[in-house]
Amino acid sequence: MNSVIGYYSTKFGELWKMSLDDLFLAASCGVLESTKLEIGQIDAVFIGNMLGGVVDNQLLLSAHISEILEVDIPIYRLEAACASGGMAFQTANEYLKSHPESTVLVVGAEKMTDISATDITTALSTAASLDEQKVGLTFPGVYALLAQVYLNEYGYNEEHLAAVSVKNHAHGVLNDNAHFQRYVTIDNVLESPYIAYPLKVLDSSPISDGAAALILSNNKQLIKTRNSSVILASEMATDNISISKRRNLDEIYSTKKAGTEAFKKSKIIPLDVNVMEVHDCFSIAEILALEDLGFWKKGTGGGYAKEMATHIDSGNNLIVNTSGGLKAAGHPVGGTGVKQIGEVYLQLTGQAKRRQVKNTKYGLAHNVGGSGGVAIVTILGV
C-alpha cells in the first residue's frame, strides 16, 4: 500500500529572509535528509502552491522547481487555493496507484508576507466567486456569515468560538515550528478587534510564510526501513464557489462528501480516529468541520468547543489540531495541507515530541480551499 515515510517542515511565520525558492528547497532537502534519501531516488514531485504567480510573479512552477532541484523527472503543480497542499498529496497518492515500486516528493510552500495586507487579501480573494469579489466580500466576511448563521441557529455566542482559538494556541505552544507560540485566554480573544462580525482578529489564522514536505512510497523495501504510516484514503470533493448557491450555510458540503468517501475507502469510522488536523482558518471552521465529518452531532459543536473537548489534556479519545492548527501554527496556504498530513504522520509514528498523543492508531487531515469550494480528507493508519 502507499505509505508516508518522511516529513519535514520549516518554521511558519514572517520569514522575510527566505524567498519562495528558499522555502521549497529547505523543505525538499529537509525531508530527503530526514529519510536518508537522495533526489535521484525520487520518481516524481508534486507541488502545492496558490500564489506564486501573484506574489512572486512566477508561474510554470514545475519547470522552476526542476531547475532548483536539478532534476528532469515529472513535476506537477497543483492549485486549489488553501487546499493546494492537500490536493498535491491526493494527486501524488493517485499517481502511486499506477506506478508500482515508486517514491515521490510532495512539497507545499507559500510566501505571503512580502506584500501589503491589502494586496495579499486581494490575492486570496481570487479563490472566491467573481460576483462576490466585486461586492467586496472577502473570506473573513464569508466565514463571518457562516458563523452568524451557526450561532443564531443553535444558540451559541462568541465565547464558544473563542474557545477554539484558546485550545489551538495552547497546542501551538508545544510546536517549535508554529507561527505563534503563546497562550491566549477567552478574554484575549473577545477583546481583540472585529474583522467581520462575529469574527475577531484572534478568531482568524495569520498570514504566514512556510513550507512542508512529505515522502510517499509504495516501495516495500523503503517502507520497511523507515518510520511509515499507511495511506488508507485521500478523497477530494468540490462544491459551488458562490456561497449564495450553497445548500446550507451551517455546513461545508464538500467536507461532508469527501469525509464520507474517505471513511468508506478506509473502512473505519470516526470513533476509530485518535488525532485529527482540521482546517481552522477561522474558529467557526473547526466547529463546522467536526460536525461535517461526523464526529459531533449537528448543532452540538459549539458546546464541545467551549468545553475544549479535543484539547491534548482533555483525557478524551479524539485530539484535534495538535500542531496548533492554522490559527496558531500558521497558514502559508500552499503548505498547510502538507503540514496537516505531516502532523498526523508524526503522531502515528510517535515522533510528535511534547505534543505526542498516546496510543494513536488512526489519524485524519482535513484541508479546505476557499470557503469550501474544495475539500480533501486524508486518513492515515499504522
Evaluate whether 95 touches 231 at the Cβ level (below 8 Å): no
Q: Which of 367, 328, 326 is nearest to 84 (CA)?
A: 367
Please give the pLDDT value at position 344. 98
Residue 321: CATH number of its domain: 3.40.47.10
Evaluate whether 241 touches 358 at the Cβ level (below 8 Å): no
What mean pLDDT is reported for the chain?
Answer: 95
Please give the pLDDT value at position 300. 98
Residues 84 and 134 in one domain: no
Q: Above 80 in pLDDT, residue 129?
A: yes
Instruction: Pick the catalytic residue from 64, 82, 171, 281.
Output: 82
Please give the pLDDT value at position 36. 97
Residue 29 appears among annotated catalytic residues: no
pTM equals: 0.97
Of 347 and 55, the structure prediction assigns the larger pLDDT to 347
Please give the pLDDT value at position 57. 78
Residues 200 and 212 in one domain: no
Please give the pLDDT value at position 232. 98
Instruction: Kindly state whether residue 161 falls inside one of the protein's structural domains.
Output: yes
- Residue 231 is placed in which grid cell? 495511506
Instruction: Kindly state whether residue 122 falls inside one of the protein's structural domains.
Output: no
Of 139-143, 251-255, 374-378, the one with minimum mean pLDDT is 139-143
Residues 75 and 92 in one domain: yes
Please give the pLDDT value at position 193. 98
Residues 248 and 216 in one domain: no
Residues 10 and 48 in one domain: yes
For residues 131 and 245, what is the distance between their CA atoms, to the nearest angstrom? 12
For residues 74 and 272, what is the distance between their CA atoms, to the nearest angstrom? 36
Instruction: Pick the catalytic residue from 160, 179, 311, 331.
Output: 331
Domain interval for residue 109: 3-115+208-224
Residue 82 appears among annotated catalytic residues: yes
Residues 48 and 148 in one domain: no
Q: Above 80 in pLDDT, residue 56?
A: no
Residues 173 and 303 in one domain: yes
